[in-house]
Amino acid sequence: MRQTNLFVTTLREAPAEAETVSHQLLLRAGYIRQLAAGVYTYMPLGRRVLRKIENIVREEMDASGAQELLMPSLQPAELWKESERYDVYGKELMKLQDRHEREFVLGPTHEEVVTTLVRDEISSYRRLPLIVYQIQTKFRDERRPRSGLLRGREFLMKDAYSFDTGWEGLDLAYEQMYNAYGRILDRCSLTYRAVQANAGAIGGKGQNHEFMALSEIGEDTVAVCSICDYAANIEQAEVHSGDAFEEQDFSGIPAPVKFHTPNQKTIQQLEQESQIKPQDIIKTLIYTDGGKNFAVLVRGDHEVNELKVQKYLGCGEIALAEYDSVQAAAGVGSGFVGPAGLSLTILVDAAVAGMAEAVTGAGEKDYHLRGVVPGRDFLLTHVGDFRNAATGDICPVCGEGKLVFHQGIEVGHVFKLGTVYSEKLGATFLDAAGRSQPMVMGCYGIGISRLLSSVAEQNHDDQGLIWPAAIAPYTVHILLMSVKDEGQREVAEALYAQLTAIGIETLLDDRDERAGVKFKDSELIGIPVALVVGKGAAEQKVEYMDRRAGTKELIDISETVARVS
């Protein structure tokens, strides 16, 4: 591909609403564009990466015996009422009506569709086991779409479903999928942990594991034993208590007061200066108006934390607040509330009783709000149970190891469903003795678009993205320094033709731009290898740049093919 033809625009600055590095870089490097909150276009570069991930997923699914199909996104609401999930699923379910006023939903997942499909197709044990999968757009009306592709309202998922005659069969299918997930994530060079999704519940019905990309920005907290292989998501209760506030009457309650809080520090600075370690920060707890503000709970002695915050805010204007849900979730601890990405702000102290003021960031640097009201001014969306990690939990399995805590992004989830759906939707088969039995099911999801942004989150530097070779949009980026220099142009064109001919995906920067612009864009886009065709071209030399290592080396043109293939 010639860059003069490539449909991409790089941006010097990321739009302000992009909070996480992956979101910022994917926007700046022209991989994605937002259409609406949580709804994105994959631009040609983004589409290529997405397709590579899809293909890896496809290869591993096929290799494990799963068969690809494609089910509709448009699903009759009736089906969801039959499985009794129509109401349970809540506001995340996108609902719509057709011209005859028949109710439909846009599929957030496909247990209902696939179960009725297999019910209608298969009636004998002879045709089981079966694993089917699809790679398809899912719709979830997330309360807070976040971080670009990480939490979209329209996103790409691979979902697989297994059908067996008994639990042993399910165990086998589960293991196959579990192993395939490991291979998929390894091939994408993701750093991850597979964790039990229900801490403590090992084996049995409903067993499930989450595949967590390790990342500071992850919304989940996972505990990993320092000795045995116990690893679990410690979040047992996820409270979307925002819903509970919606009906409340806030009339008569005074509006929050804005006040000045100069010299604030960023979370990172505070971590450094106050020696609050990242692992002490247990959970993003509160999201406020429009997602501008957030709170972070910190373990430990609240008075110490209060002094630290006071010191670093340099304003003495600290208000304390009791916040029941925080208190319930955290026990004794302190929280810092701040405008996301801007700066650290004020304390919400869950341990101090009797004070009814909550303070949050005002979404404006150096200003905060006092007297905000939960539900009106901000919504509590997550409450995590961190089980007194401050005291250094002991592993519940081996009883010896210490639990180490990480933040994680859930990229995959495998689940032993059992007969829940087959019983509700009548998916039965006749066994060898002619008896009718419910099929035993499993479901296995992997967020393709979320995986893309998780890899971006883990692979970047200050200049831009650094793609692992297996999913990079191109393998080689040829940077032609001066299009006006005939000699350079010839060398670049010859290299481009040669690499393309042997199937190496190559992007040729043939734009009439300054060298500096080309280097900057190349680093931003993050193709693993750049070949710089500049002054050395006269001596048949090009510069070989390794994006990840950050190294440069002058090599002979004759060596390039061997080096990049």
Binding site for ligand ATP (CB under 6 A): 109, 140, 142, 151-152, 155, 157, 410-413, 445-447, 449-450
CB 483 within 8 A of CB 489: yes
Q: Residue written as tokens 């028949």? A: 102
Q: Which is nearer to Mg ion, 209 or 460 (CB)?
A: 209
Considering the complex, what minimum distance in angstroms separates the CB of residue 413 from Mg ion? Answer: 4
Rounded Cα distance, 135 and 162, in Å? 15
Q: Which residues in 221-257 are b (16+ Cβ under 10 Å) and which e?
A: bbbbbeeeebbbbbbeeebeebeeeeeeeeeeeeebe
Considering the complex, what minimum distance in angstroms separates the CB of residue 211 from ligand ATP? Answer: 7
Considering the complex, what minimum distance in angstroms separates the CB of residue 95 from ligand ATP? Answer: 17
Identify the CA nearest to 194 among candidates 427, 521, 444.
444
Q: Which is nearer to ligand ATP, 155 or 405 (CB)?
A: 155
Identify the CA nearest to 508 among candidates 542, 538, 540, 536.
542
Q: Which does 450 bind (CB under 5 to 8 A by kind): Mg ion, ligand ATP, none?
A: ligand ATP
Q: Which is nearer to Mg ion, 146 or 413 (CB)?
A: 413
| Number of chain positions touching Mg ion (CB under 5 A) | 2
Considering the complex, what minimum distance in angstroms separates the CB of residue 140 from Mg ion? Answer: 6
Beta bridge pairs of residue 436: 430
Q: Which is nearer to ligand ATP, 108 or 333 (CB)?
A: 108
Q: Which does 294 bind (CB under 5 to 8 A by kind): ligand ATP, Mg ion, none?
A: none
Q: Which does 46 bind (CB under 5 to 8 A by kind): Mg ion, ligand ATP, none?
A: none
Considering the complex, what minimum distance in angstroms separates the CB of residue 32 from ligand ATP? Answer: 13
- Sheet with strand 94-97: strands edge to edge: 74-76, 103-106, 94-97
Residue 518 exposure: Cα atoms within 13 Å on the Cβ side: 23
Considering the complex, what minimum distance in angstroms separates the CB of residue 120 from ligand ATP? Answer: 25
The residue from 413, 416, 460, 541 that contacts Mg ion (CB under 5 A) is 413
**368-407 mask for Mg ion (x: CB under 5 A)?**
----------------------------------------
By beta carbon distance, the residue nearest ligand ATP is 447
- At 27 the three-state DSSP class reads helix
Q: Which is nearer to Mg ion, 119 or 153 (CB)?
A: 153
Q: Which is nearer to ligand ATP, 139 or 429 (CB)?
A: 139
Q: Which is nearer to ligand ATP, 146 or 299 (CB)?
A: 146
Considering the complex, what minimum distance in angstroms separates the CB of residue 198 from ligand ATP? Answer: 12
Q: Which is nearer to ligand ATP, 131 or 347 (CB)?
A: 131
- At 537 the three-state DSSP class reads helix
Identify the CA nearest to 44 among candidates 505, 438, 486.
505
Q: Which does 299 bind (CB under 5 to 8 A by kind): ligand ATP, Mg ion, none?
A: none
Q: Is the peptide bond before 129 cis (omega within 30 degrees of 0)?
A: yes
Q: Which is nearer to ligand ATP, 445 or 473 (CB)?
A: 445
Q: Which is nearer to ligand ATP, 360 or 449 (CB)?
A: 449
* DSSP character string of 110-178: -HHHHHHHHHHH--BGGG--EEEEEEEEEE---SS-BTGGGB-SEEEEEEEEEEESSHHHHHHHHHHHH
Considering the complex, what minimum distance in angstroms separates the CB of residue 239 from ligand ATP? Answer: 13
Considering the complex, what minimum distance in angstroms separates the CB of residue 475 from Mg ion? Answer: 33
Q: Which does 438 bind (CB under 5 to 8 A by kind): ligand ATP, Mg ion, none?
A: none
Considering the complex, what minimum distance in angstroms separates the CB of residue 160 from ligand ATP? Answer: 11
**3-class secondary structure per residue, 237-297:** CCCCCHHHHCCCCCCCCCCCEEEECCCCCCHHHHHHHHCCCHHHEEEEEEEEHHHCEEEEE
Q: Which is nearer to ligand ATP, 17 or 142 (CB)?
A: 142
Choose the stretch contacting Mg ion; rule: CB under 5 A; options: 22-30, 347-355, 408-416, 546-554: 408-416
* DSSP character string of 493-532: HHHHHHHHHTT--EEEE--S--HHHHHHHHHHHT-SEEEE
Helices then strands, each counted (H, E), the chain = 14, 31
Identify the CA nearest to 359 among candidates 341, 374, 343.
374
Q: Map the footprint of Mg ion across residues 152-181, applying CB under 5 A.
A: none
Beta strand 506-509 with 476-480: parallel, antiparallel or unpaired?
parallel
Q: Residue 1 to residues 4, 144, 510: CA-CA distances in angstroms?
A: 9, 37, 10
| Residue 139: φ, ψ to 5° | -125, 125
Q: Which does 148 bind (CB under 5 to 8 A by kind): Mg ion, ligand ATP, none?
A: none
Q: Which is nearer to ligand ATP, 85 or 140 (CB)?
A: 140
Considering the complex, what minimum distance in angstroms separates the CB of residue 257 from ligand ATP? Answer: 35
Identify the CA nearest to 53 among candidates 244, 183, 191, 246.
183
Q: Which does 536 bind (CB under 5 to 8 A by kind): Mg ion, ligand ATP, none?
A: none
138 contributes a contact to Mg ion by CB under 5 A: no
Q: Map the footprint of Mg ion across residues 423-462, applying CB under 5 A.
A: none
Q: Which does 449 bind (CB under 5 to 8 A by kind): ligand ATP, Mg ion, none?
A: ligand ATP
| Residue 16: CB atoms within 10 Å | 10
Chain contacts with Mg ion (rule: CB under 5 A): 410, 413
